[in-house]
Structure formats: structure tokens, C-alpha cells
Amino acid sequence: MNEILKLSRSTVEKYLSCPRCCVLDKKYKIKPPSLPFTLNIAVDNLCKNEFDYYRKIQKPHPLFIEYGIDAVPFKHKDIELWRSNFQGIRYKSIEHNYDFGGAVDDVWQKKNGDLIIVDVKATSRNNFDWSETFNKYDYAKAYKRQLEMYQWLFKKNGFQVAKEAYLLYFNGKKNEELFNNQLNFEVHLIKLDCSTSWVENKIIDTVNLLRSDVFPKPSLNCEYCNYLKKRWQLSIT
Ligand code: SF4
């Protein structure tokens, strides 16, 4: 029997965007370079503190009222665990021998008990247009899949989950007249109609790939691999 395979939602996302990267990361511990998203982390933390205030008093956050969402931040003994990057919410499959998990940013609860899964994002753009972003960029589609994987995890843990999930976007305004050591944000709450029907199969596909000897080909339009190929072609020592 194979050892239980521990994987996160980002492993499955890597499998979907480039299976080779997924193998490099999980089997060989080789990751593409990335920059730390310090602004994102700061926004996540501030946001967490604010929602925790409304969680404590079990009242809707003012944004819920503005957007007509009949819910309150979900109060549960495991909320800290679900938000922790080292643990998150997890599901273990005995049949396929994997342990899959992901860390959510927040969970809200509707009047009928359904849970709404939320992820917080920070950006800085002149004209924020989610529909255009979603149609144009793969990363926006990955954000939706991220929420769907979290929804699946909550369902597998026995919770009733709403079909809709939200991205809470903070857009830093960069054209203010004066800085005054203050970065102002406009807030966009984006409702996404989600489906978890694909999730389980893709987790199993990822597990099967990682347990096989297959080393997939690089994706043709990846800027990292193309950079390396060009660099090797030049053969500079
Ligand atoms: S193509 Fe890109 S994503 Fe795939 S292995 Fe290369 S660096 Fe990773």
C-alpha cells in the first residue's frame, strides 16, 4: 500500500495549469520563482480582524447589507484551523489514500444554514473590471476553481454549502492627489456561481500522476520554461 499522499488545492491547481510543474513541485521540491505577496497578506490580516469583530457579535458586516447578503460571519470552533496555512480544512480519502486540504480566508453563514466561502484578494488597477479580467486571464479562472475546491472540502466535512461563493477584492487607488502615507482601497464583492462537480476527479487525477513515473512535457506558453529554454540555447556559462 502506498503512503498517504498529502496535497493542497495549489497542487491540484498546478496539475490543471501544468502537470509538469505539479510533478517538479511535489516530487522534486522544485518550485518556479515567485514574489511574496506582502500587500495581500496585510490586507488578509486586516480583513480577518474586521470580520472577526462581526463574527463575535453575530451581526452582518456592513458590506453584507450593502450587497443584500443575508448572512453573518460563521462562528465555529475550527475557524482558526481552517484559516491556517499549515492546516486548513482537510479531507482524507481511504479509497484513494490521499489527504487533501486548503486554507480559506473566511466563511459566512446564510440564514438557511448554508455556508458561503470567501477569498480575499488585493490588487491595484486603474479600471477594475472583473468580467473582463475573468474572460481574459487564466489566473481569474483559477480563483474560481480555488473557491470550488474549498466548497468541496466543506461539503466533504459534512457542511451544507451555498452554490455561490465570493471574492472580496481590495483595489488600491494609485491615482489619488495626495499620498499622506495612506493607501486607499475601493472594495468589490464578486459573486461567483460555482460548481464542485469536477473537483474529486481532478484530485484523483493529480494523485495518480504523482504516483506514476510519468514526467509530463512543459506547457508551451509558460514564460518561465521559455526563459530557461532561450537561456540554454545561448549556452553562456
Ligand atoms: S512550463 Fe512553466 S509551469 Fe510548466 S514546468 Fe515549466 S515552469 Fe513550470
In a domain, 234, yes or no: no
How many angstroms does the Cα of residue 18 sit away from the middle of ligand 1?
A: 6
In a domain, 63, yes or no: yes
Q: Residues 168-186, buried b or exposed e (16+ Cβ, 10 A)?
A: bbbbeeeeeeeeeeebeee
Predicted confidence at residue 182, as pLDDT, reads 80
Cell 537561456, residue?
231
Residues with CB under 6 A from ligand 1: 18, 20-21, 24, 32, 218-219, 222, 224-225
How many angstroms does the Cα of residue 144 sit away from the middle of ligand 1?
A: 21
* Residue of 235 and 134 predicted with greater confidence: 134
In a domain, 187, yes or no: yes
Predicted confidence at residue 33, as pLDDT, reads 76
Mean pLDDT in residue range 36-49 = 83
Q: How far apart are CA 166 and CA 183, in angstroms?
A: 23
In a domain, 8, yes or no: no
How many angstroms does the Cα of residue 232 sit away from the middle of ligand 1?
A: 15
Look at the chain and report how many structural domains it folds into: 1
For a mutational test of ligand 1's pocket, the pick from 223, 225, 228, 230, i.e. the residue with the most ligand atoms closer than 8 A to its C-beta, is 225
In a domain, 47, yes or no: yes
User: What is the position in ligand 1's atom list of the atom closest to the CA of 20?
Assistant: 5
pLDDT band for 35, please (50, 70, 90 cuts): low
φ and ψ at residue 199, rounded to 5 degrees: -60, -55
pLDDT band for 40, please (50, 70, 90 cuts): confident
pLDDT digits (tens, 9 = 90+) for 50-101: 999 999 999 999 999 999 999 999 999 999 999 999 999 999 999 999 999 9
The counts of H helices and E strands in the chain are 9, 8
In a domain, 155, yes or no: yes
How many angstroms does the Cα of residue 148 sit away from the middle of ligand 1?
A: 24
In a domain, 118, yes or no: yes
In a domain, 116, yes or no: yes
Q: How far apart are CA 116 and CA 163, in angstroms?
A: 8
Ranking 18-32, 93-107, 134-148, 218-232 by mean pLDDT, the lowest is 218-232
pLDDT band for 152, please (50, 70, 90 cuts): very high
Q: How far apart are CA 196 and CA 151, in angstroms?
A: 7
- Which range marks the domain in which residue 163 is found? 36-199
